[in-house]
């Protein structure tokens, strides 16, 4: 049952920011809704100015809370926003990553309230970007605001990097990381673009799958043909596309790309134990999955399928006439969009080679094929025994009152590039819930989760400072930018 009014934290007053959350709710929500009103849809060229306006809002807030060196980090696309506070010379440096761009809102008619008119209903804030990811960036900003206003200092050095292209696959992000590596270097990276198992069972993500995607165009003739005059005598592009889709998996649900599983790491006993400890409910999962029946690779549980096993999906398919009535043609063109989710130690380049080999073997002679790569991200994984993982776990436990379970995310993001380029562990402090309708109509954030996320960030800085000698490396401090 979701809360109908904000939870109070009087019973956990020992938390660093309990008083701030109790006294500043209205002001924080005002800032939150102001940011959510900006339609920062990075995929739509018509909203390019809105994405920049959203970045400007974020930069202004960084300055207002007391961050230094606030600026846009420009790319060939939308800019990222950077700011820092580096006045703790003996403390570790933390880079906080998030993004402020949002998904398109289609179908607009499915929204119960307009997507860019934030609306609170029954303790939930509905708007595009509420949980993915403006809300989860904002509680970091608010925690810094509160601590600097109260103490005039932070327990750790903090750098914030807020991206503007995550929802379009971060096409320019790795180049930005490489270019700005010295500025962005840190002892640990904190990401709050993930979720928890449930509001009552807190969890902590420790890894994300990678992704590689392709848009495949098939052409069998220079134009559509009359099905009476040519049907049965020529290649039908729709048939070719359907045969490709059918050939993607074998009878056991395994992906048929050659060597697809060669680099997949076996599931460790620790990971198996963490998965088994979760209270998985098949009926609840099906409800969250909007009624879709379970399916997938045989021999693996649902959680294994979406967390620790790679997958191949057809995410779009088009061919022929799809309007009202009938048009008797042999379609000359078809498109199929393929998406592969990867797990450690798979690499997008190797999967791309396997995909092209598979495609060459399955497309008949005489069919013209055009393949456009649509993006690739490697999988990310943080060891469970890293001191930063333990520190984040303690921060979550202090706020939720119970130790978090360890999970993984089936989705993908730039976390792998962050960890690899910056040579730093990535830890996750996300508060989203499985039914937050991310990327769908009626996206929401449960406000109790938001407030707890803010409190947990306040605890995290002190927890990371306490293990500074275990995680601190040679990172430039104040005056070394």
Question: pLDDT tens digits for 354-395?
Answer: 999 999 999 999 999 999 998 888 999 998 889 999 999 999
Residue 294 in domain? no
The CATH number of whichever domain residue 455 belongs to comes to: 3.40.630.10
Shared domain check, 438 and 448: yes
Shared domain check, 145 and 258: no
Query: What pLDDT score was predicted for residue 5?
Result: 39
Shared domain check, 399 and 442: yes
Domain that holds residue 194: 10-208+379-471
Shared domain check, 353 and 439: no
Shared domain check, 389 and 355: no
Q: Interior CA angle at 250 toward 246 and 252, to 5°?
A: 130
pTM for this one?
A: 0.84
Query: What pLDDT score was predicted for residue 126?
Result: 98
List all residues 6 or more positions away from 465 whose beta carbon is below 8 Å from its beta carbon: 88, 91, 92, 155, 156
Shared domain check, 155 and 30: yes
Q: Interior CA angle at 133 toward 423 and 82, to 5°?
A: 50
Question: pLDDT tens digits for 49-90?
Answer: 999 999 999 999 999 999 999 999 999 999 999 999 999 999
Shared domain check, 327 and 437: no
Domain boundary among 342, 376, 410: 376
Number of structural domains (the chain) is 2
Shared domain check, 395 and 371: no
Report in angstroms the alpha-carbon separations of 25 from 29, 30, 292, 454. 6, 9, 38, 11
Shared domain check, 96 and 242: no
* Residue ranges in the chain modelled with pLDDT below 70: 1-13, 474-481
Shared domain check, 448 and 352: no
Backbone angles phi, psi at 227, to 5 degrees: -70, -25
Shared domain check, 120 and 38: yes
Query: What pLDDT score was predicted for residue 464?
Result: 98
Residue 218 in domain? yes
Shared domain check, 186 and 138: yes
Query: What pLDDT score was predicted for residue 383?
Result: 87
Query: What pLDDT score was predicted for residue 268?
Result: 85
């Amino acid at each position: 049952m979701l809360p109908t009014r904000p939870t109070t934290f009087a019973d956990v007053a020992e938390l660093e920011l309990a008083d701030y959350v109790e006294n500043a709710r209205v002001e924080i929500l005002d800032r939150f809704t102001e940011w959510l009103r900006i339609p920062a849809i990075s995929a739509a060229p018509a909203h390019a100015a809105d994405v920049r306006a959203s970045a400007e809002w974020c930069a202004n807030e960084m300055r207002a809370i007391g961050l230094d060196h606030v600026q846009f980090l420009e790319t060939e696309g939308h800019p990222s926003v950077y700011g820092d506070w580096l006045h703790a010379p003996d403390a570790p440096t933390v880079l906080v990553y998030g993004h402020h761009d949002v998904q398109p809102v289609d179908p607009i008619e499915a929204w119960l309230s307009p997507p860019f008119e934030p609306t609170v209903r029954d303790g939930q804030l509905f708007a595009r970007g509420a949980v993915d990811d403006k809300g989860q960036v904002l509680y970091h900003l608010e925690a810094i605001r509160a601590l600097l206003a109260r103490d005039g200092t932070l327990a750790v050095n903090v750098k914030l990097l807020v991206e503007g292209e995550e929802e379009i696959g971060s096409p320019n992000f790795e180049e930005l990381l490489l270019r700005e590596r010295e500025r962005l270097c840190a002892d640990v990276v904190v990401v709050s673009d993930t979720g928890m198992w449930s509001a009552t069972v807190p969890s902590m993500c420790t890894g994300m799958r990678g992704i590689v995607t392709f848009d495949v165009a098939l052409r069998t003739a220079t134009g559509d043909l009359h099905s009476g005059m040519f049907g049965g005598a020529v290649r039908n592009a729709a048939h070719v596309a359907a045969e490709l889709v059918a050939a993607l998996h074998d009878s056991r649900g395994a992906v048929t790309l050659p060597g697809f599983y060669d680099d997949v790491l076996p599931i460790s006993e620790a990971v198996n134990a963490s998965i088994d400890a979760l209270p998985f409910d098949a009926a609840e999962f099906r409800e969250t999955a909007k009624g879709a029946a379970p399916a997938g690779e045989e021999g693996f549980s649902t959680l294994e399928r979406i967390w620790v096993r790679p997958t191949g999906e057809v995410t779009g398919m088009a061919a022929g006439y799809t309007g009202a009535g009938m048009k008797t043609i042999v379609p000359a063109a078809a498109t199929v969009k393929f998406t592969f989710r990867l797990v450690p130690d798979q690499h997008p380049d190797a999967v791309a080679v396997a995909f092209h080999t598979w495609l060459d073997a399955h497309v008949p002679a005489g069919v013209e094929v055009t393949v456009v790569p649509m993006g690739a991200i490697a999988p990310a994984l943080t060891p469970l025994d890293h001191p930063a993982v333990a520190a984040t776990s303690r921060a979550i436990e202090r706020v939720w009152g119970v130790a978090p379970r360890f999970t993984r995310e089936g989705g993908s993001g730039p976390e792998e590039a962050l960890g690899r380029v910056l040579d730093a562990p990535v830890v996750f402090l996300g508060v989203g819930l499985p039914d937050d309708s991310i990327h769908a109509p009626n996206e929401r954030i449960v406000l109790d989760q938001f407030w707890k996320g803010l409190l947990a960030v306040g605890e995290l800085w002190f927890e990371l400072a306490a293990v500074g000698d275990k995680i601190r490396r040679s990172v430039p401090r104040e005056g070394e930018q």
